[in-house]
Amino acid sequence: MKTFLKVVIFSVAVILFYAFYANVMIPQVRPAPPPAEAKLDMGSLTMEQFIHMGDEIFHGKGTCELCHNPVGGRAPLLDQVGKIAEERIKDPRYKGKAKTGEEYIRESMKEPSTFVVAGFGVKGTNDTQSPMPVVTSGAIGLKDFEVDAVIAYFQQKAGVTVTVQLPKETPKATEETHVADPAKSGEEVVTKYGCGACHKIAGQQGALGPDLTKIGAKKNKDYLRRAVLNPNADIAPGFPAGMMPPDFGTKMLSGEFEILIDYMVKSK
C-alpha cells in the first residue's frame, strides 16, 4: 500500500509539474477567434465578403466553371477578364453599349451574344451567336447583386480596382424564397431549367450537350430519368463527363420531372 501511494503521488506530481509548466512558464497567447463567416446581410456586407460570394457563385451556383475552365476549351478563361474587358470594348467587332470594363462583363453575362470572343461562337454562326446561357434566367437564375459579386470577383482576381458598388440593402426575403410557378408543358420545363443552353431540344439550339430532339427513339424512360437525376451515370459518346449540373433532382418538382421525361420519350 505504501508503494502504491508513493507511485500515485509521484505520477500525479509529474502530471502537475507539466500542467504547471504549461500554464505558468509558457505565455498564454489567446488565439484569434474563428473569422466571421460571410452572411447574407447585405446592409453590412464588406467588399471582401462580397468578392468571396462572387468566388463561390463562379464555382458553384453560377455553374460558370463548367465551361470556363482550362480543360474543355469551350469558353474563354476568365482569370484576367477584369483587365481584358477594357480592351474588348475597343475591339472593332464590338457593337455593344458598354463603356467600362464592369459594364462589359455585366453585358456579356446578361446578353452573351453581344460580343463573342473569336473562336467561341456557336458553330456555323461565325462568332455572332454565343453558346452561353443568360445567367440571370433559367436554371442558373442569378440575381443582379450576384452578378455584381461575380464581377467584383473577376476584378479582384485580375488585380484591377474593384469598381462594383456593394448592394445597398438586403433583398427582400420573399424574393429569395420565391418559387416559380410549376411548368405545365415539356417546352416550359425546358425553358424554366435552361436545358436549351446546352442541348438541342424544344426548338432551342444548344450545342454543348447531346442533341435531344430524337432522344425518345433511342433511349427508354429509365435511362432518361437516370440521365437527368444522375448525369454522370452514363455519358453519351463524344461528350465529356461532369459537364451537366448534377442537382436537377433537387431543383425540379416531381410533376415537372415527369412532364419532362414524357416529353423526351415522345420526341421521336
Binding site for another protein (CB under 8 A): 3-4, 6-8, 10-12, 14-16, 18-19, 21-23, 25-35, 37, 48, 51, 59-60, 156, 159, 161, 219-220, 222-223, 225-226, 229-230, 233-234, 246, 249-250, 252-254, 257
SS3 at position 180 = coil
Give the number of other CB atoms < 10 A from CB of residue 118.
10
Q: Closest CB to another protein among 117 and 139?
A: 139
Instruction: Output the smallest distance, CB 20 to another protein, in A.
Output: 9
Please report how close the Cβ of residue 127 comes to another protein at its closest, in angstroms. Answer: 32
Instruction: Look at residue 23 and give its three-state secondary structure.
Output: helix
Nearest partner of 249 among 258, 241, 239, judged by Cα: 258
Query: Nearer to another protein by C-beta: 116 or 150?
Result: 150
How crowded is residue 49: how many other Cβ atoms within 10 Å of its Cβ?
18
Residue 111: CB minimum distance to another protein, A: 29
Task: Give the C-alpha separation, 266 to 217, whole Å.
Answer: 8
Nearer residue to another protein within complex by CB, 19 or 77: 19
Distance of alpha carbon 57 from alpha carbon 51, whole angstroms: 10
**Shortest gap between Cβ of 255 and another protein (angstroms)?**
9
Nearer to another protein, 92 or 217 (CB): 217
By C-beta, is 12 or 77 nearer to another protein? 12
Q: Which of 227, 226, 222, 232 is nearest to 212 (CA)?
A: 227
Question: Cβ closer to another protein: 30 or 178?
Answer: 30
The C-alpha angle 68, 205, 178, rounded to 5 degrees, equals 70
> Smallest distance from the beta carbon of 57 to another protein, in angstroms?
12
CB of 94 to another protein, least distance (A): 28
Candidates 238, 66, 263, 84; CA nearest to 157 is 84
